[in-house]
Amino acid sequence: MIENIDMSLVDWSRAQFALTAMYHWLFVPITLGLTFIIAIMETIYVRTGDEEWKRITKFWMKLFGINFAIGVATGIILEFEFGTNWSNYSWFVGDIFGAPLAIEGIMAFFLESTFIAVMFFGWNKVSKKFHLMSSWLVAFGASLSALWILVANAWMQSPIGMQFNPDTGRSEMLDFWSVLFSPVAVNKFLHTVSSSYIVGSLFVLAVSSWFILKKRNVLFAKKSIIVAAVFGLIASLFTAITGDGSAYQVAQKQPAKLAAMEGLYDGKNGAGLVAFGVLNHSKEIGDSKDPYIVKIEIPKILSFLGYRSMNAFVPGINDLVYGNQEQNIMGAEEKINRGRMALSALSAYREAKKEGDTQRMTEILPVFRENSMYMGYGYLNDPNSIIPNVPMTFYSFHIMVTLGFYFIGLFAFVLFLSMKNKLHTKKWLLRAGIWSFPLGMIASMTGWIVAEVGRQPWVIQDLLPTFIATSNIDASAVKITFFLFLALFTTLLIAEVRIMTTQIKSGPKGGDNV
């Protein structure tokens, strides 16, 4: 339907946004997790009066500050890219998408940035309780900031509380509260922030394990590990629960993503959950090849997780592309045809409006309304394009889930040995604690890959394909800024790592090294 699309512009715009988002997300989960761990440690200090806990709090606060400063820089660039590279998207949904981002800046970031000054510079200048309140407000502010950004992202996954206005050519918000409290938004927020708490806990565990292995600041490290293990275990269990809720919402709102997550080509009743699998990369949509080279499956669990019934039908990729009359599933080709009817009616409506033909407008509008839910499909040419990249989505999902269960076991075991005062004797576990931090970052990144790659080809599910959302600019400009950002972000990352490692090697100020 759409011709003369510069796909190199689309690809480079996507690459640049992915680059910025992934670099930004290297800093965000550490920030979200550390803020609460710091607040918990300071609470212990205020309640006990033990100066050792003040020393512990100050050390982790210093590392948090380094990470926070660089994270803010990448986050600002990320938001600017909506205007520079994705202006069609911003025009189409600015009334909706802009609202939570504006609230994030006015409410959450203001709260966080105001009290972070007291948190860092208020020691011995304000009362202990006021300083503690400031630390908790920074923690809540950081998560509140994440809330509004995740609400905006959740709306892209499941647009709700809006209506497309054919007179303006834009989507307009009808119900702010349905956008804020949509099941997708609630689950996305809870799952994302709880998984970030895991990353923050793993960071504390890794650094503390290093101190114990080096036989430095052992008491400091043991106390830090207990807080991190308790907080991490609770966060891990909660992440598993919210992950189940997120998977259920994916099944309801984004069946193509679910099919890609499980490599499910042919839908069936009582579908099993793939515990382990290696995909057959020669498999094509519609052919008779086995999707897997090897697979270990838990019977009927996918049906239960997706539809809360062991025998529920889970649509596969072929059902979604070609349709399934028996299950009342419309095929992609029919959706494309209906989408083109909606776009054609919209064009005719706006032409009639330009000519002042109100009768013609009245006749056309019902046709548009009837097919408007498929409007985004009208831009597509290939029915197969409604399916996201299966290998990337499948492997990312299973890496994330596997690591999630690993973290539950890790935190539980570390906490058990810490309570028995035997953790320092298990050097292999301390080394595992160090290497588990990068695994936490991998799990966090793969979660976002599932969310964003699994949504393709849509920037807004079913309404706006990614290749329609870009700005009308030269692809060379995006290429140049891509490599500039790559150099800048890499420099910032190297700087952070060097500053962090220097501060960690210096250790907490004061106290004994044994």
Instruction: Give me the pLDDT at residue 107, please.
Output: 75
CA dihedral 142, 145, 147, 153 (to 10 degrees): -130
User: From residue 173, how far is each of 101, 148, 165, 223 by CA, in Å?
Assistant: 14, 16, 10, 49
Instruction: Give me the pLDDT at residue 512, please.
Output: 53
Question: At 109, phi and psi to the nearest 5?
Answer: -65, -35
| Tokens representing residue 442 in the block | 């991998």
> For the residues 389-400, what does the mean pLDDT come to?
96
Instruction: Give me the pLDDT at residue 29, please.
Output: 93
HSE-up of 126 (CA within 13 Å, CB side)? Answer: 14
Tell me the pLDDT tens digit for each residue of 117-129. 899 888 989 999 9
In angstroms, rounded to a whole number, what is the distance separating the alpha carbons of residues 218 and 385?
Answer: 56
Q: What is the pTM of this model?
A: 0.92
Name residues whose C-beta falls within 8 Å of residue 381's C-beta, 6 or more positions apart in sequence. 1, 2, 336
Looking at beta carbons, which pairs linking 100-107 to residues 24 or more positions away fall under 8 Å?
100/148, 100/149, 100/151, 100/152, 100/155, 100/179, 100/180, 101/148, 101/149, 101/152, 103/148, 104/144, 104/145, 104/147, 104/148, 104/149, 107/144, 107/148
pLDDT at 3 over 70: no
Looking at this protein, which amino acid is placed at residue 259?
A: A
Helix (H, G, I), strand (E, B) or coil at 294: strand
> For the residues 4-12, what does the mean pLDDT come to?
86
Tell me the pLDDT tens digit for each residue of 341-384. 999 999 999 999 888 888 999 999 999 999 999 999 999 999 99
Instruction: Give me the pLDDT at residue 290, please.
Output: 93
Tell me the pLDDT tens digit for each residue of 452-507. 999 999 999 999 999 998 888 889 999 999 999 999 999 989 999 999 999 999 98
Tell me the pLDDT tens digit for each residue of 291-322. 999 999 999 999 999 999 999 999 999 999 99
Helix 475-506 / helix 7-48 crossing angle, nearest 10 deg = 20
pLDDT at 511 over 60: no
Beta bridge partners of 329: 324
> For the residues 158-163, what does the mean pLDDT come to?
90
Is residue 514 very low, low, confident or very high in pLDDT (cuts 50, 70, 90)?
Answer: very low
Q: Are 360 and 368 in contact (CB under 8 A)?
A: no
| Cβ atoms within 10 Å, residue 101 | 16
- Average pLDDT of the chain is 91
Instruction: Give me the pLDDT at residue 16, please.
Output: 93
pLDDT at 2 over 90: no
Instruction: Give me the pLDDT at residue 510, please.
Output: 66
